[in-house]
């Protein structure tokens, strides 16, 4: 493996990425593939934290649009992220990667509480830290949680793993004329309403000059390539 370009990164995965083609739940093959990539990255000395969405199990926003109380729906979504976090922990530990799950909602039987200094200490010791339960507050997405945690632990970049190979002007599956962007500024993302991260998360990254790289997580070796500074996907940064 080439020399890593980044020392400390936060990898944000959508829940849908774990579902694979089945569209719901956790695909064991996908989660094992991602775990192997994480192992490779950690082996070369990169400190890696993870935030995983819960959309493959429960989506709070969708439930609230059908009449459920938004706060209750969001708390259910946070619990869904914990299911994904524990599944990822299991996949990583099976292949010998030291892992800690930290939850923003107290559940001491299954995870540590989120404590910033402890998280940083785990990273320094070479452990992968998985941040579960979002920010612990309703009305905030896991994108916002990823931006917040990345800032708190001093990550140099957010790597957003999706099912597409970057950010496009439109959905490439529906629109053949969709153009892929190689670089974007935070303001362009906000003005064009591009689905990189939600507006709160993007604004948070903009205020703190934290770059976001959107790339295809489903292609083998891509996590390693991004961490080594290869030009894949779309990078969102300041002007």
Residues in the annotated binding site for ATP: 12-15, 55, 59, 162, 168, 171
**To which residue do tokens 């299954």 refer?**
110
Element containing residue 41 per DSSP (H, E): helix 28-43
What are the residue ranges of helices labelled H in 95-174? 116-124, 142-153
Provide the annotated binding site for UMP.
54, 74, 135-142
Separation of alpha carbons 6 and 215, rounded Å: 16
The DSSP 8-state label assigned to residue 180 in this structure reads E
Give the CA dihedral 120, 79, 81, 155, nearest 10 degrees: -20
Separation of alpha carbons 36 and 145, rounded Å: 24
CB 139 within 8 A of CB 72: no
Provide the annotated binding site.
12-15, 54-55, 59, 74, 135-142, 162, 168, 171
CB 83 within 8 A of CB 57: yes
């Amino acid at each position: 493996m080439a020399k890593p370009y980044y020392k400390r990164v936060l990898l944000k995965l959508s829940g849908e990425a774990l579902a694979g083609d089945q569209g719901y739940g956790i695909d064991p093959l996908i989660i094992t593939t991602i775990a192997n990539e994480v192992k490779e990255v950690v082996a070369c000395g990169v400190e890696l934290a993870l935030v995983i969405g819960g959309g493959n199990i429960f989506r709070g926003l969708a439930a609230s649009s059908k009449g459920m109380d938004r706060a209750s729906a969001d708390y259910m979504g946070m619990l869904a992220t914990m299911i994904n976090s524990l599944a990822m922990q299991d996949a990583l530990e099976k292949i010998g990667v030291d892992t800690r799950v930290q939850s923003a909602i107290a559940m001491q039987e299954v995870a540590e509480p989120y404590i910033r200094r402890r998280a940083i200490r785990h990273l320094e010791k070479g452990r992968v830290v998985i941040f579960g339960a979002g920010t612990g507050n309703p009305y905030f997405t896991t994108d916002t949680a990823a931006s917040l945690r990345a800032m708190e632990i001093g990550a140099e970049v957010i790597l957003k793993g999706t099912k597409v190979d970057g950010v496009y002007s439109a959905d490439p599956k529906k629109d053949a004329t969709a153009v892929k962007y190689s670089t974007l500024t935070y303001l362009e993302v906000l003005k064009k309403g591009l689905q990189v991260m939600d507006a709160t998360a993007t604004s948070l990254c903009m205020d703190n000059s934290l770059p976001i790289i959107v790339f295809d997580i489903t292609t083998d070796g891509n996590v390693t390539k991004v961490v080594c500074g290869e030009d894949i996907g779309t990078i969102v940064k300041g002007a």
